[in-house]
Amino acid sequence: MEEIVQAIIIGIVQGLTEFLPVSSSAHLIVLPRVLGWDDALITSSTFVVMLHMGTLAALLVFFWRDVLELLGAFWSLLRERSFGDDPKRRLSLVLLLSIIPAALFGMVFEDFIDEFFYDAVLVIPFILVIGAALLWAAERIGTRSRDLAQSNLGDGAFIGLAQMFALFPGISRSGITIAAGLARGLKRDSAARFAFLMGIPIIAGAGVWKARGIVTGEAGEIDLAVLAAGVIAAAVSGWLAISFMLRYLRDHSTGIFIAYRVVAAAVLLVLVVVNG
C-alpha cells in the first residue's frame, strides 16, 4: 500500500510539472531523494517512462479534436501540395518541423544526460535558474501579437531547436517551448498550446524509445498495481495542468513560474549542500 501512495504522489507531480514550466525531470529526480523513498520501481526509469505515457494520455484526451484536424490537414497538404486557405495545413507542417531537432538530439544524447544528471544533482538548481532567466527574457522581448494559426516555418525551426535543451533536468519541455514561442511573438496561451501539441509526438516517441527495456524484459519484475496508480495519477493531474495553463496564460504572465523556479533552486541548493 505504501508503494501505491508513493506512486500516486509521484504521478501527480509528474502530471503537473510536465505542463507547468517548472521541469518535471528535476522534480522526479529530487523528490524521492528528499522524501527518502528508495523503492526499486518508484525510482526506476521504467516508472518514469510509464508516467510519461500517463501525461501523453492527458494530451490526447484534451486535444483529440485538434489531433484529428491536424492529421487531416497534413494529409490534405500531402495530397494537394498546397496550403490553400487552411491555416491548419501550415500548422501541421510547422509542428512536424519543430519535433525533428529534439527527436534526433534525444536519440543520441538522452541516455547519457539521464545518467549524468541522476548523480549530478548539484547542477540542477543552476539549470532551474537558467530556465527562469529564459522565460523572463522571453516575456520582455516577445510582442505577444500572433495566434497559433499565424505560426510559420521559422517558428517551427526556432522552437524545435530550443526544444533540444529540454533534455537537461531543470529546463522544462513546456518551459523552453513557451519561452521560444514568446520570443517569436506568439501570445502566451498560443505558445503554451504549441508546446502541448508538439509534446504529443515528442513524448510518444521518447516513450517508445525508452520502453525498449520493458519490451525486452530488461526492466525486471513490475508491480502492475503500483504502475497503474502512478500512470492514472499522472494522466488526471496532467489534464488538469493543461486546462489550467491554457486558461491562466490568457490573462497572466509566466512570472509566478519564474519565481517558483528561483525559490525551488534555492531550496534544492541548500538541501544538497546540507546533506552532502
Q: Which of 188, 184, 187 is nearest to 156 (CA)?
A: 184
Give the predicted TM-score (pTM) of the model. 0.90
Q: Roughly how many angstroms between the first and final C-alpha of the chain, as a whole number?
A: 31
Sign of torsion over alpha carbons 52, 56, 59, 61: negative
Q: Which of 3, 45, 19 is nearest to 210 (CA)?
A: 45
Q: What is the pLDDT of residue 50?
A: 86
Tell me the three cell numbers of residue 61. 484526451
**Model confidence over 25-66: pLDDT tens digits?**
889 888 888 888 887 778 777 788 889 899 999 999 999 999
**Model confidence over 191-217: pLDDT tens digits?**
999 999 999 988 887 777 666 656 555
Q: What is the pLDDT of residue 104?
A: 84
Q: What is the pLDDT of residue 190?
A: 96
- Residue ranges of the chain with per-residue pLDDT less than 70: 110-111, 114-120, 209-222, 276
Q: Which residues pair with 186 in a beta bridge?
A: 146
One DSSP character per residue, 13-71 reads: HHHHHHHTTT-HHHHHHHHHHHHT---TTTTSHHHHHHHHHHHHHHHHHHTHHHHHHHH
